[in-house]
Amino acid sequence: MAAAELDDSDRAILRELVGDATSGAGEIGRRLGLSQPATWRRIRRLEEAGVIKGRRVEVDRASLGFGVTVFLGIKLATRGRVSLEDFERAATAIPEVQMVQHVLGLFDYRLRVVARDLADFERVLRRRVMTLPGVGNVEANVVLTEERRPGPFG
């Protein structure tokens, strides 16, 4: 996808929507000094250009009973010639796996895993992750705190 041409207003709108997509075009425009139709047209243009990929709700996993989040780094065993597709398919089939990243570096894959507690995580690790096809070394990082930032828009 080629870089879309965005001006300051577009970037300001994106910053608002990434932080909180609750308010509509009217309220966002008011904050930026734009009229409601102008803001609405810009948002629609950003959606059509593919800059805005979708809208989702953020869920508090802790209130759902999943208090533990762990990032796993996985190095595939060099011995067996297991296809990446096999590994990815098996990894994404684990309910507790929220994200599967194919990465370049010390590891081949990074998995974001949620569990109810550390005991539950150990169960997932031993019975699900360690039995993935081709899995070699596994490194784990338990998430203590996580802060998200808006990120650069231009």
Tell the burial category of 134 from Cβ atoms under 10 Å away from its Cβ (0-12, 13-18, 19+): buried
The distance of closest approach from Cβ of residue 95 to a second copy in the complex, given in angstroms and rounded to an integer, is 5
Which partner from the list DNA, a second copy, none does 134 bind, CB cut-off 5 to 8 Å by kind? none
| Among positions 42, 70, 113, 134, the unique one binding DNA when judged by CB under 7 A | 42
Q: Angle CA(38)–CA(18)–CA(1) in degrees, nearest 5? A: 80
Which partner from the list a second copy, DNA, none does 136 bind, CB cut-off 5 to 8 Å by kind? none
Of 39, 36, 35, 30, which is closest to residue 9 (Cα–Cα)?
A: 39
Residue pair 114/66 in contact (Cβ under 8 Å)? The answer is yes
101 counts as binding DNA under rule CB under 7 A: no
19 counts as binding DNA under rule CB under 7 A: no
| Among positions 31, 41, 99, 137, the unique one binding a second copy when judged by CB under 8 A | 99
| Among positions 17, 18, 38, 100, the unique one binding DNA when judged by CB under 7 A | 38
CB closer to DNA out of 23 and 141: 23
CB neighbourhood size of 18 (10 A): 14
φ, ψ for residue 10, nearest 5 deg = -60, -45
- The torsion angle over the Cα atoms of residues 18, 20, 24 and 29, rounded to 10 degrees, is -70
Footprint on this chain of DNA (rule: CB under 7 A): 9, 23-27, 29, 33-38, 40-42, 44
Footprint on this chain of a second copy (rule: CB under 8 A): 1-4, 6, 14, 17-22, 49-66, 71, 73, 88, 92, 95-107, 110, 114, 139-149, 151-154
